Chains A and B, each alone.
Chain A
């Protein structure tokens, strides 16, 4: 059907309004799904990560998708955990991985040592089970034996409560402890510290029984902060000022007890409290990705200006070689005024260290 000039004019106005809202002329990009990228059926991924240059995973509410070719193909594997949106996954390498899923007040953890061909399942005992269950999970293993699951208690947005479940034997036995808050968990290899990154940064050296809150010296006016797990001696923190969002990179010289010397970078995308910019570890150091496409920052303030990224970057991971990486992104658009709205989720890949990205798979769902 041919569009009239009036319709074209309305589209131009709508596009201009969108650009104005984004706060940046380059920020709001059209849905950049590669026409050749497969339109996937089913629910969109909750999380995804590239583990080696060829092995990666994406987890949807009812599937674990594995790729052995860097993201060109994604194949579902059967994992014996309940379906639902409250789940998380982590792979230490292409063989050892874990999937955790919550239903009601119980959490099922499945571990594999053969790349997903077989799974061992455990129901994690809840020492302090939430009467209403959990709203999100974060899982991390430092190696094949030391891991943790952080479960956010299902509450309204006004609260941030959690329980942490810790294992030191690869997931056979778990101990549950109250967490200082909800957030993201990161376990160091060899039974080292467990980091919990929320509105603050906490560390435990006794398998989650006791927690110490790190001292963060953030710069400037801070109305809310959301901490990412440490990347070496660098701590990315997403900071809200009155009207803007910035990423601050803090460093430590005392093993993580205190973090300071922040470098600040205003972002093009804006966020609310509880949103942390995706931060990735690379051989050249950490990179934080703006929530609008086209901007990524190193601690020295360099904007790498990657191409091909849509709005709504949620996770970024790189393989150890630093060249191959995956991004998971999601953003909504409407074709009419508050009508015909679609939420797009894209899995993108890079093979040049994150300078250019290509859409490997895309999911779309109607939301109006």
Chain B
């Protein structure tokens, strides 16, 4: 401490310190140094086929959007969707986007999707863990700060009246949540239809999702209201809401097929974006 104090008395050191402070504010931090989570209360969108970083830029510049649903990958991720490279993701971050990172792996066993997890509870649990590992490896490969980074599992609708299918889904999501909590922990999220993906059923399972991304295409942006999800679940900045389904939008000469999102939950990277007046809370 004394030595450091002595350095401060040096004019050269003082100049260096001031320069450093200036740089802290002027130079964008490297990806790995960015806060890995922030709470966003802003508007966003997601699309599987964005096509290019320049298309994403067109949806950023002078538009109402701040958040982007970013598909990381997974066995169910469509071949026609955009598969981002590490450098492209860095470009997107540089544009200013905050991400809702999505992982699209196997789906419920009672569905017709090509990739499905098991009816067997222990197997489904292990498959959920494996998907979390795969998603983690993806964000590591992109050089992200992985601590507390939110990652959302895309669980599409299934017959929630099928008790064995719902039980398997609970085990799968529990495994996903367990693995995500292992150090260095991420934040486990689940996307799905508020009603038809059984979101409310996961509120009380072991290793429950830390936040949800609920599809409720009512056009109502308010995240407090998601169909079939009780108002008392996921109440502490733990909700994103997909409030409008697929449709075309054109901004700055670029047309994309998008869903619209409003957030009151974790995004990557930080900092927090609160009280924005965009109708999410």
Interface positions of A (Cβ within 8 A of B): 14, 17-18, 21-24, 27-28, 85-86, 130-133, 135-136, 152-160, 178, 199, 223-225, 240, 242-243, 245, 268-275, 291-292, 311-312, 314, 330-334, 337-339, 341, 343, 367-368
Contact = CB atoms under 8 A, between A and B. Distances in A.
A18 B50 contact: no
Given A85-B219, A312-B250, A338-B62, A21 B57 contact: yes
B157 A242 contact: no
A367 B64 contact: yes
Contact of A158 (B54, B71, B219): B71
A27 B159 contact: no
B252 A18 contact: yes
B76 to A, nearest CB: 6
A224 B51 contact: yes
Contacts, number: 198
A131 B157 contact: yes
Contacts of B51: 223-224, 240, 243, 245, 270-273
The list of the 3 closest CB pairs from A to B, nearest first, reads A273-B49, A22-B253, A312-B250
Contacts of A158: 48, 71, 76-78, 81, 102, 104, 154
A273 B80 contact: yes
Interface in B57-105: 57-58, 61-66, 69, 71, 76-78, 80-82, 102, 104
A223 B85 CA distance: 14
B66 A338 contact: yes
Interface stretch (B8-16, B125-133, B188-196): B188-196
B210 interface: no
Contacts of A292: 253
12 contacts: A18-B61, A21-B61, A21-B254, A22-B253, A156-B102, A156-B215, A159-B156, A243-B52, A272-B257, A275-B49, A312-B248, A331-B250
Interface of B: 43, 46-52, 54-55, 57-58, 61-66, 69, 71, 76-78, 80-82, 102, 104, 112-113, 154, 156-160, 191, 193, 195-197, 215, 217, 219, 242, 244-259, 278
A224 B47 CA distance: 13
Contacts of B82: 223, 272-273
Name the residue among A178, A330, A368 with the largest chain B CB count within 10 angstroms: A368
A367 B196 CA distance: 28
Given A223-B51, A271-B51, A368-B278, A341 B256 contact: no
B256 A271 contact: yes
Nearest to B245: A135
Nearest to B96: A338
Contacts of B245: 85-86, 135-136, 154
A130 B254 contact: no
A270 B250 contact: no
Given A160-B78, A339-B64, 18 more contacts: A21-B254, A22-B253, A132-B156, A133-B196, A135-B245, A156-B46, A157-B259, A158-B71, A159-B76, A240-B51, A270-B55, A270-B253, A272-B82, A273-B48, A273-B257, A312-B248, A334-B62, A338-B64
A274 B58 contact: no
Contacts of A331: 250-251
Contacts of A157: 46-49, 69, 71, 81, 246, 257-259
Name the residue among A14, A23, A268 with the largest chain B CB count within 10 angstroms: A23
A338 B63 contact: yes
B108 to A, nearest CB: 10
B64 A271 contact: no
A85 B278 contact: no
B196 A291 contact: no
Contacts of A269: 250, 253-255
A314 B66 contact: no
Contacts of A21: 57-58, 61, 252-254
Given A85-B217, A240-B49, A332-B63, A22 B252 contact: yes
A196 to B, nearest CB: 16
A272 B160 CA distance: 33
B253 A291 contact: yes
Contact of A154 (B48, B63, B65, B215): B215
Name the residue among A245, A269, A272, A333 with the largest chain B CB count within 10 angstroms: A272
Contacts of A270: 51-52, 54-55, 58, 253-255
